[in-house]
Structure 1
């Protein structure tokens, strides 16, 4: 199995009857990856990996896991590194690019390719008050 490290924080939501749904949150340092992850975790999501996610393909799907050096921990800006319950491995269903500022109101469907497999992709402002709800809505649609 060949893994590709991706600069992204990954979280997962358990969907009854469907299993864990993984979302990679990507963006520049300070874009809000860990901040949004913490807010999602407060709403029932689980951490998979903070800051870097190992991505690999199996069959026609992508999976994400944490590098062993950072597994089970998340950086909380202004607080430090804290332990966090995790999901060790998750099938990825969505990639989100975090940006500051305006986001297209009605975007066309986009995909991001990893290991030759397309993953649905959207761009969001991670600091927007509704960001958690938007990620949750997207996770239910896919």
Structure 2
């Protein structure tokens, strides 16, 4: 099933004004984030007209249309307003001509507008539609913001993800989602997670029940969404399993076509998982800034080996 956004949602979420066709907004659907600026169409060329896109009129398009005769302007606007055209969008608070309003009314196309400059408006609407129309996946886990790093906690039910998130909130970090995380791809390199509306700001603690984190800890303890930059998988400690002790084992999890780094943290009595997660966040940030403690250890180890080899060689020659 194709994702869509109604023009009504578009208008409400982006504070757009409605010039005409308000009764059509809930029925008109936007199915693509691409926006068209109908420059060549105003000259009468419609062989490759992307009618399923929002048609954006800026200062250039509006000025050109004003240079046309009323009859020609009306004919072109009739061609622009197709059955699958979601809306005509006008920037810079430019008032639509009577020909635009008449043609749009005849073909049931709403006319909406904004005070923003054309480029900014196009960028804002495109980003909004990219987010709303992106493929989504609901996964089991807890998403937290630790030192500005979006960390997704995964693991079997009962491993302590929610309790760890609560401890992190008490330590000044922020909760994004508990139990279920809605994940979508924002662009070619970015995965974003947010809470389902029904679970927004809520945290489930076994033995206590549901708590409202924003109500208990304040607005600074929650975020609505965050980029997922690191996954920490919590699992019960097993003496038979070899865990990464140096940081050379690289794991990842793929969402859609984006790879997100993943580490596994064993859980057992005596380990402070929240502090470990804080350190993991700081270590991730350090790597992004170009400092890799694992590489430094390997470099130091290499130097030590060379020094020992040189010493052994010198001792052999001395004999």
TM surpasses 0.5:
yes
Q: 5, 12, 15: which is aligned to 2:145?
A: 12
Structure 1, gaps ≥5 residues long: none
- Quick one: structure 1 residues 47 and 4, their matched pair in 2 at CA, closer, same or farther if it must change by over 3 Å? same
Distance 1:63 1:135 in 2: 19
- Note the alpha carbon deviations across 1:59-106, whole angstroms, 9 max, x for none: 211111001111110001111100013200101111111111146142
User: Partner residue of 2:56?
Assistant: none
- Structure exhibiting the larger radius of gyration computed from Cα positions: 2
Q: SS state of the match for residue 29, structure 1?
A: coil
Q: 1:100 and 2:236 equivalent?
A: yes
Counterparts in 2 of 1:1-142, with a 5 A limit? 1-13=134-146, 15=147, 20-59=148-187, 60-85=189-214, 86-102=222-238, 104-106=243-245, 107=247, 108-126=249-267, 129-142=271-284
Instruction: In structure 2, list runs of 5 or more residues that go unmatched.
Output: 1-133, 215-221, 285-319
Q: Name the Cα RMSD after superposition.
A: 1.6
Q: In the alignment, is the contact (CA less than 8 A) between 1:36 and 1:126 conserved in 2?
A: no
CA distance in 1, matches of 2:171, 2:250: 26
TM-score by length of structure 2 reads: 0.41
Offset at residue 129 of structure 1 (A): 2.6
Q: 1:88 to 1:126 in 2, by over 3 A?
A: farther
Aligned residue for 2:163, secondary structure, equals: helix
Higher helix proportion, which one? 2
1:11 and 1:46 in contact (8 A); partners too: yes
> Structure 1, residues 83-140: CA drift from partner, whole Å, max 9, x if none?
0132001011111111111461425011111121111101113455331121111111
Q: How many residues align?
A: 137
Give the alignment's TM-score, normalised by structure 1: 0.89
Instruction: Note closer, same or farther for the CA distance 1:54–1:138 as it changes in structure 2 (3 Å cut).
Output: same
The answer on whether the counterparts of 2:237 and 2:267 sit within 8 Å (CA) in structure 1 is: no
Following TM superposition, where does structure 1 have runs of at least 4 consecutive aligned residues deviating by more than 6 angstroms? none
- Alignment match, 2:116: none
